[in-house]
């Protein structure tokens, strides 16, 4: 064989080898391309993050609340204790207007004018007692004008009224027209006593927080036994979710300010696997996450569960509502966070595609937690890969 034939034979063999190599490369990359076609993934940077499993549901607020209502509820109420104010058992909470209250108040106002005119006409030499009382009156007026706290204003006004009455009696005794002034004060006192005598005062029967937000569902549920709560009862509460409870002009109530309960209807695996005394977190509309303990689990329709949670935070905030939207956070975990769309699952094993300088590798990963949108992943150890034969 000539040198020319040997050279051609060598070139032919080299070409065959190159063709085989190209075919192999095409097969390898072709499989990866087909894999990406049938298992599309997103290109993402894997970073540390937090994922959670939650259910967004409607929560029905259940409280230990005692409604206070008197016989004269149609007359309207005068608040003695303010909304949200803490009271002890036996405290006066509010009173009802009397039938002739406007007339009595008008008489008292007229007597105040007569009394002031009588004082203006006097030129009595003030005693030390009067000077002291004048100073106290000035201090009380200054305190009233410098505060926005309604409770403080009411208290300062009571003190001011007592001080001015005391001053009036002293001036009445010292002034030439003392008998006339005393007569005015006596008549005013008579009307004030009549106003008090004719008013119906309502007292608290237990300690707690005062509220005038009444929706008619205060006695709908008992906080002593949640096992009797039904799906129908909850769904029959005809209040819109997130609707503020209106203020009543007829009655008030005392609310337990230490804890309240949220009943929900939940249809999820987490709800079906939940147990009484388990702890979860609940996210309210104000984005606050609070601890909650499961106190009761009842069966509902279609494999759903009625779950009652006890909470001890944001109780006063929830007094404004009867139905709210909440997130039940069953669990929360942190780690390497990957979108579900970026994970390939084959034969029971999960993979992510690693891209380094344009070269891709299919890397097996352990799924630690998943919530349907994201997964927390970790690498297998060498020993684990050997056991899995990966």
> What pLDDT score does 193 carry?
74
> What pLDDT score does 175 carry?
58
> What pLDDT score does 88 carry?
94
Kindly tell me if the per-residue pLDDT of 283 is higher than 60.
yes
The encoded tokens of residue 38 equal: 């049938």
CA distance 282 to 293: 10
> What pLDDT score does 178 carry?
61
> What pLDDT score does 323 carry?
96
> What pLDDT score does 372 carry?
85
Predicted confidence band of residue 274 (pLDDT cuts 50, 70, 90):
very high
- Mean pLDDT, residues 296-303 taken together: 91
Q: In the CATH scheme, what is the homologous superfamily, with its name and number, of domain 54-66+240-333? A: Efflux pump adaptor protein, beta barrel domain (2.40.30.170)
Quickly list DSSP for 97-131: PPTTHHHHHHHHHHHHHHHHHHHHT--PPPPHHHH
Predicted confidence band of residue 360 (pLDDT cuts 50, 70, 90):
confident
The residue extents of the domains of the chain are 1-38, 54-66+240-333, 73-203
Predicted confidence band of residue 15 (pLDDT cuts 50, 70, 90):
low
Q: Lowest mean pLDDT of 15-19, 99-103, 173-177, name the range.
A: 173-177
- In degrees, to the nearest 5, what angle opens at C-alpha 90 toward C-alphas 202 and 144? 75
> What pLDDT score does 33 carry?
47
Kindly tell me if the per-residue pLDDT of 181 is higher than 90.
no
- Mean pLDDT, residues 251-261 taken together: 95
Strand 359-370 relative to strand 349-356, pairing: antiparallel
Kindly tell me if the per-residue pLDDT of 45 is higher than 70.
no
- Mean pLDDT, residues 50-69 taken together: 94
Per the confidence metrics, is the pTM higher than 0.75?
no
CA distance 361 to 354: 5
Quickly list DSSP for 250-299: S-EEEE-SS-EEEEEEE-SHHHHH--TT-EEEEE-TTS-EEEEEEEEEEE
> What pLDDT score does 234 carry?
95
Task: Give the pLDDT confidence of 188-234 residue by residue, as tens digits.
Answer: 777 777 766 667 889 999 999 999 999 999 999 989 999 989 999 99
> What pLDDT score does 14 carry?
66
Please provide residue 62's backbone torsions phi and psi, each rounded to the nearest 5 degrees.
-120, 130
Kindly tell me if the per-residue pLDDT of 240 is higher than 90.
yes
Predicted confidence band of residue 171 (pLDDT cuts 50, 70, 90):
low
Name the region of 347 (left: φ>0; alpha: ψ -120 to 50; beta: rest). Answer: left
**pLDDT winner (highest mean) among 42-56, 291-305, 340-354:** 291-305
Task: Give the pLDDT confidence of 309-350 residue by residue, as tens digits.
Answer: 999 999 999 999 999 999 999 999 898 888 888 888 888 888
Q: Lowest mean pLDDT of 73-77, 106-110, 257-261, name the range.
A: 106-110
Task: Give the pLDDT confidence of 91-127 residue by residue, as tens digits.
Answer: 999 988 887 777 777 877 877 777 777 666 655 555 6
Lookup result for tokens 């300690």 = 207
């Amino acid at each position: 064989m000539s040198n020319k034939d040997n050279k051609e034979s060598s070139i032919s063999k080299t070409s065959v080898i190159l063709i085989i190599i190209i075919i192999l490369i095409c097969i390898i990359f072709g499989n990866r391309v087909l894999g990406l076609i049938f298992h599309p993934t997103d290109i993402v940077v894997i970073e540390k993050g937090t994922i959670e499993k939650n259910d967004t549901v409607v929560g029905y607020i259940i409280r230990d609340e005692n409604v206070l209502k008197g016989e004269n509820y149609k007359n309207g109420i005068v608040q003695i204790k303010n909304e949200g104010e803490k009271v002890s058992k036996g405290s006066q909470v509010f009173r009802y207007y009397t039938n002739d209250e406007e007339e009595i108040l008008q008489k008292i106002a007229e007597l105040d004018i007569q009394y002031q005119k009588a004082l203006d006409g006097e030129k009595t030499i003030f005693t030390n007692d009067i000077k002291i009382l004048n100073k106290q009156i000035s201090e009380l007026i200054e305190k009233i004008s410098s505060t926005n706290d309604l409770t403080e204003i009411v208290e300062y006004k009571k003190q001011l009224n007592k001080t001015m009455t005391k001053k009036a009696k002293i001036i009445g005794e010292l002034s030439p027209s003392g008998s006339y002034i005393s007569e005015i004060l006596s008549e005013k006192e008579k009307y004030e006593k009549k106003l008090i005598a004719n008013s119906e005062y309502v007292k608290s029967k237990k300690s707690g927080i005062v509220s005038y937000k009444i929706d008619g569902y205060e006695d709908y549920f008992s906080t002593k036994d949640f096992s009797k709560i039904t799906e129908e009862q909850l769904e029959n509460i005809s209040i819109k979710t997130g609707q503020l409870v209106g203020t009543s002009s007829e009655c008030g109530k005392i609310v337990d300010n230490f804890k309240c309960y949220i009943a929900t209807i939940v249809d999820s695996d987490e709800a079906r696997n939940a147990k009484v005394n388990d702890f979860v977190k609940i996210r309210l509309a104000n984005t606050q996450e609070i601890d909650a303990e499961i106190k009761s689990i009842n069966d509902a329709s279609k494999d759903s569960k009625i779950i009652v949670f006890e909470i001890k935070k944001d109780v006063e905030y929830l007094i404004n509502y009867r139905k709210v939207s909440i997130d039940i956070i069953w669990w929360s975990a942190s780690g390497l966070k990957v979108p579900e769309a970026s994970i390939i699952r084959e034969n029971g094993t999960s993979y992510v595609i690693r891209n380094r300088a344009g070269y891709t590798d299919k890397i097996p990963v352990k799924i630690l937690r998943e919530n349907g949108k994201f997964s927390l992943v970790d690498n297998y150890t060498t020993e684990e890969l050997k056991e899995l034969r990966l």
